[in-house]
Structure 1
Amino acid sequence: MGTRFKCNEETIAQTKGGKLKGFYYDGIYTFHGIRYAKAKRFQMPAPIKPWEGVKDALSYGYICPILNNPKPTGEVATPHRFWPENENCQYLNIWTPSLDSSAKKPVLVWLHGGGFFSGSSIEQVCYDGANLAEFGDVVVVSVNHRLNVFGYLDMSSFGEKYKNSGNAGMADLVAALMWVRDNISAFGGNPDNVTIFGQSGGGSKVTTLGQIPAADGLFHKTVVMSGVYSSMSQGEQVKGRDLVLAILEQLDLEEKDVDDLATIITTQRLIEAVNAAEKKLAAEGKYIEWGPTPNDWYVGNPVEVGFADHFKTIPTMIGTVLGEFSMEPPIPHKDQLSAKERRDIVAQKYGEENADEVIRRFKAAYPDKNEVYVRNLDLMFRPGTLKYIERKAKEGTAPVYAYMFTPTFEIDEDKLAWHCSDIPFWFHNTSIIPVCQLDGITEKLENVMSSALVNFARSGNPNAAGLPWWDPCTAEHTNCMIFDKTCEVRVDHEKDLIPYMEKVTPPFVFDPSMFPSDEDEVDEGSAWFY
């Protein structure tokens, strides 16, 4: 009987900086907390110095500090885990079937969700890469990087040394991809076959990297999962110089003291000042939305400015889930309701004058779904995603594959697929997420989704055994793979649905306070919604 666990000289990898010791368990070598760069506050990352001897890579590295305490919410639906925080958070993790430098296995680099303000490479339990590495015979990498004020405070108007502070978090990711290019062969990976994939904010980071010339050549395929979305905030966005001045005001500092933000103010004091500034700005009808700043380093959102020339040549797989951030209360026994009762429920949201047309269009697009699920239909991610698909298929020279994840889960009266519910299926991790257990569905769906991801990473084509043939999209037609208990390709199935629903759906404003709390609970912090 072979050894299931090893942590010795056989689990040491030689990188360009020095030797790293990970561990081996059930066929997979794992390395946690590899430092890929270092950086001073608001500055671009720099390479790490080489070292003598062997460094342990047996513990996850620090995660970026977040601005608000997370509030326990929805843990059954999206299990989380947290970790010590530090501004020095440039760490990555690797799972691989081999340490043979000649193995040249496809590499998948995971970019976590949480917008550009929160999250980490290990925050969701299902981010663990061991099962995907084993199932697909691939190398999986996950990355921590700077977020929120540490990664995206644009101080460029205060001097050349802050020229790219508004993109420091993205610069970390470029540095991580450079590290992968230079070192991944020591972990059995092929530096010439790297796929970046991410969900929600991670998907947005994928699309952003495509618009950064410094990242050209560091990745060869992209997977965007629920990553093209509309702003969740309303009012006037505050950024750049005005935001820096608002933070300085909370610290009782003047403009001439701006360098103190980078050199003297502690991590906690800076966080407190940002939160105080955000509260004051909110009272004035203004908001902060962390994210990259267009400049000569980052050319801008491709949906707004067009795709960078190199990005046009990168194959893409992109999609969303049907329910995403739906806050609608569950409807019990919906399949036992009469047609009139179901129509009345739809009319409550969309009005008597629109109910019949809403139902007709929804059933034409999703004939297998109860019409009351139209109340959960996502309009935050899907419209932008469809525009992204159309524009990249039109401007690009590489294939674009579209998908939609649509199952219902046995929680909250058969809850429609929500934001993040697809991630365990892509990662082949449904076995560790109880809510994913759907009788007669889970194993098959997980296998075809993980296979599609792995095949796309290997060759740029996601077609896999167990799926109907899946053609890439064209400028004229969206060929969308529906991932559900029965997988099928539908062509332009939302063409008449999404534009109409945007017209008749009441405005949605995301408010974490909508999540319930215990009566005696001190209700502070942000709900877990990713």
Structure 2
Amino acid sequence: MRVHRVKRWAATAAATLLALAPAGSAGAREALAALAADGRQGHGCRAVTSLGRVEGVAQEGRCAFLGVPYAAAPTGANRFRPPRPQEPWGGTLRAVEERPGCPEDLGAGGEGVEDCLHLNVWAPRTGGGHKPVMVFLHGGAFQLDSAEEPVFDGGRMAVRGDAVVVNLDYRLGILGWTELGGLDPAYAGSGNNGLRDELAALEWVHRHVAAFGGNPADVTVFGQSAGAVSISAMLAGDHPERLFRRAVVQSGPGYLVHTAGSARRAAEHVFTTGGIHAVADLDRLTTREVLELQQRAQGGLSGPSAAVFFGPWIDGSLIPGPVVERVAAGSARHVEVMAGTTENETDFWALFNPSVLDLPLSGYRTFPAVLADRKQRMYDRYAANRPGLPEGRVVNAMLTDQTERIPTLRLAEAQSRWRPTYVYQFDWHVPYVPGLPAAQNLGAAHTLELPFVFGGLQLDRFPRGAQTVAEQRPALTRLSDRMMTAWTDFAHGDGPGWPCYTPDSRATRIWDLEPSVRYAPHDDERALWDGYDFPDLDF
């Protein structure tokens, strides 16, 4: 039995002993003493950091410290600037409820406040320090979502994995990802301020997580979609092992990092849309006005360019060069990586536009122009592997491979030269119902693995998701438990439980109700992309 599993078993056994022993008996007293010695003091949830004391809230099996500031508020003189260090707060910070996240796109309601550089910490109440630390970066196209979304609650993972789990908010949209250096050289690099926020949070973890029972030398960063793109960018930086030993990249390959030209053109589009001629013009806008400008700037865009308008860019310093090229050269040679995708990533967009599942081959305009001579041949192969599926479904399988799966495998191949690397694919989906429209019969879409990784099984956003959880809860809970175990085992340094990925074996964990390992799955389709170097994002 692995060491951290022994610790988990011991804590459970002590609690069981306490429940079974007669009240007031020696057995009960011994169990209480054991729990007190191995748990947090009293009722609770307190930590002492160099910034001041922190009081959290007791939850089932863990302490939660919510809304802890990791950097100074990016407001006033700090607006559009790199994150500044958090000043000591003096006294005790009551971290007992979540704080609002960063301002989101108006399409999501525009919720949030600019004073948003906070993080949440969940620490098991099994006591002892030096637990591995898991830091999550949320997705949302760099313009949506927050650490406060219920699906990102790290409490279950902390208890099941005997780890300290952290998630965080970072600046979104124009406020965090628009390059202002073209207006004023003093703001050069501001288009990566959201990435700097994430790095500042990881620095905070290194300085302070020991106070919460975590080991600052044993950090795993994991993220999905935009959060995974950020991690990919970090892997291309100088010495990422300074901040984390392991990384999990969930549906966010490195080629979605922007080129310098793309970052410049995106900024110019914002400035032209808003009549912005100086940073002062932008700075005088209220939060609401910034979001309205953001909405107008993106209103003229369509297709993938709207979804990837914001994001980290290759600035030559924070991100020195293209991700896969840098990783292949050994930029992350000291970091273990796990990377994966869902089987039907692009089905996700049908939640907002059902017509995407009817995309004909003739309308597949994002297909690489340099591969035009093999487009029909590739379609024929994908179609032959999916007999009976309509054209739109086959095209979406190709699009999933182009945007997510194949670039993820390229990243894994590059990293496998240096450190143990693991690949997965999430295949489970809400069961199909014959006769329903395609948009009501989604496959394993983008984001679908998250409710399983965190253990909450919040499938409400997917058609018939809540109903399926009610009907299949035991089976879905087992799948979720296995995934949480894999993620936390990886964070403990034990590997996730399946063989390493190499270009020869291509070992891949398939996550379904009965998980399996497949070697080189869909390899005939993967090989069709050989010879194509996925470029960094440029539009």
CA distance in 1, matches of 2:382, 2:108: 37
2:343 alignment partner, one of 314, 319, 322? 322
Contact 2:347 2:444 in 1 (8 A): no
Q: What displacement does 1:259 show?
A: 3.1
2:117 equivalent to 1:97:
no
Correspondence 1:501-516 to 2 at 5 A = none
Q: Distance in 2 between matches of 1:23 and 1:109?
A: 20
The Cα offsets for residues 437-456 of structure 1, whole Å up to 9 and x where unpaired, read as 53663132222211111110
- 1:410 matches 2:431: yes
Q: 1:287 to 1:170 in 2, by over 3 A?
A: closer
**Structure 2 Cα separation of the partners of residues 439 and 122 of structure 1:** 24
Deviation at 1:112, TM superposition (A): 0.3
Matches within 5 A, 1:49-88: 49-70=87-108, 84-88=111-115
Give me the whole-angstrom Cα distance separating, in 1, the residues matched to 2:349 and 2:331.
Answer: 41
Tell me the distance in 2 between the aligned counterparts of 1:353 and 1:180.
50
* Identity within the alignment, %: 28
Query: Secondary structure, in 3 states, of the residue corresponding to 2:341?
Result: strand
Q: CA deviation at 1:98?
A: 3.5
Q: CA deviation at 1:55?
A: 1.3
Structural mapping, 1:362-373, within 5 Å: none
- For residue 419 of structure 1, what is the aligned residue in structure 2? 446
**Which residue among 357, 373, 383 is the counterpart of 2:406?**
383
Aligned to 1:297: 318
How much does 1:273 deviate? Answer: 2.4
Which residue type is aligned with residue 485 of structure 1? L
- What residue identity is the alignment partner of 1:406? D
> What's the offset of the Cα at 1:436?
4.1
> Closer, same or farther in 2 for the Cα pair 1:98/1:212, shift >3 Å?
farther
Instruction: Say whether the 8 Å CA contact 2:223–2:249 is kept in structure 1.
Output: yes
- Deviations, residues 306-329 of structure 1 (Å, cap 9, x unaligned): 456441221111111111122798
> How far 1:68 moved relative to its partner?
2.5
Q: Residue 229 of structure 2 corresponds to which residue in structure 1?
A: 204
Q: How many residues align?
A: 454
Shift in CA distance, 407/104, structure 1 to aligned 2, threshold 3 Å: same
Q: Which amino acid counterpart does residue 270 of structure 1 have in structure 2?
A: V
Within 1, Cα distance between the matches of 2:58 and 2:425?
Answer: 36
Which of 271, 284, 289 is matched with 2:291 structurally?
271
**1:383: Cα distance to partner?**
1.6
| TM-score, L = length of structure 2 | 0.74
User: What is the identity, as a one-letter code, of the residue corresponding to 1:66?
Assistant: E
Q: Which residue of 2 aligns with 1:47?
A: 85
1:473 aligns with 2:498: no
Q: In the TM superposition, what are the counterparts of 1:85-484 in structure 2 within 5 Å? A: 85-98=112-125, 100=127, 102-123=128-149, 125-213=150-238, 215-228=240-253, 239-253=262-276, 255=277, 257-262=278-283, 264-279=284-299, 289-295=309-315, 296-307=317-328, 309-326=330-347, 357-358=381-382, 360-361=384-385, 377=397, 378-379=400-401, 380-394=403-417, 397-410=418-431, 413=434, 415-430=442-457, 434=466, 435-436=468-469, 438=472, 441-463=475-497, 470-484=498-512
SS at 1:424 equivalent? helix
Q: Would the aligned equivalents of 1:152 and 1:290 in 2 still touch at CA under 8 Å?
A: yes
Amino acid paired to 1:497: E
Q: Give the Å deviation of 1:225.
A: 0.9
- Give the TM-score, by structure 1 length: 0.75
SS in 1 for 2:156: helix
| In structure 1, distance between residues paired with 2:262 and 2:116 | 24
CA contact (8 A) 1:197 1:222 kept: yes
- Deviation (angstroms), 1:12: 1.9
- Look up the SS of the partner of 1:408 in the other structure: coil
Partners of 1:383 and 1:498 within 8 A in 2:
yes
Amino acid at match of 1:474: T
Q: Is the 8 A contact 1:362 1:497 kept in 2?
A: no
Residue by residue, what CA displacement relative to the aligned partner does 1:454-489 show, whole Å, maximum 9, x if unpaired?
Answer: 1100015111xxxxxx21012333111111122221
Distance 2:488 2:209 in 1: 17
Gaps of 5+ in 2: 1-18, 20-31, 352-359, 365-374, 435-440, 461-465, 532-539
Displacement of 1:409: 1.3
1:472–1:384 CA distance, 2 compared to 1 (3 A): same
Letter aligned with residue 266 of structure 1: T
- Asked if structure 2 preserves the Cα contact closer than 8 Å seen for 1:98 and 1:187, the reply is no
Counterpart among 57, 60, 76 of residue 23 in structure 1: 57
Deviation at 1:99, TM superposition (A): 8.4
Shift of 1:248: 3.9
Contiguous gaps of at least 5 residues in structure 1 = 72-82, 331-345, 364-369, 464-469, 504-530
Residues 220/144 of structure 1: CA separation in 2 closer, same or farther (3 Å cut): same
Change (3 A) 1:477 1:327: same
* CA deviation after TM superposition for structure 1 residue 118, in Å: 1.8
State the SS of the aligned residue for 2:333.
helix
Mapped partners of 1:28, 1:328: distance in 2: 36
- Contact conserved, 2:101 with 2:113, CA < 8 A, in 1? yes
Contact 2:124 2:163 in 1 (8 A): yes
Alpha-carbon distance between aligned partners in 2 of 1:237 and 1:460, rounded to the nearest angstrom:
38
Aligned-partner SS, 1:222: strand
Contact 1:154-1:239 at 8 Å conserved across structures: no
Which residue of 2 is the match for residue 493 of structure 1?
521
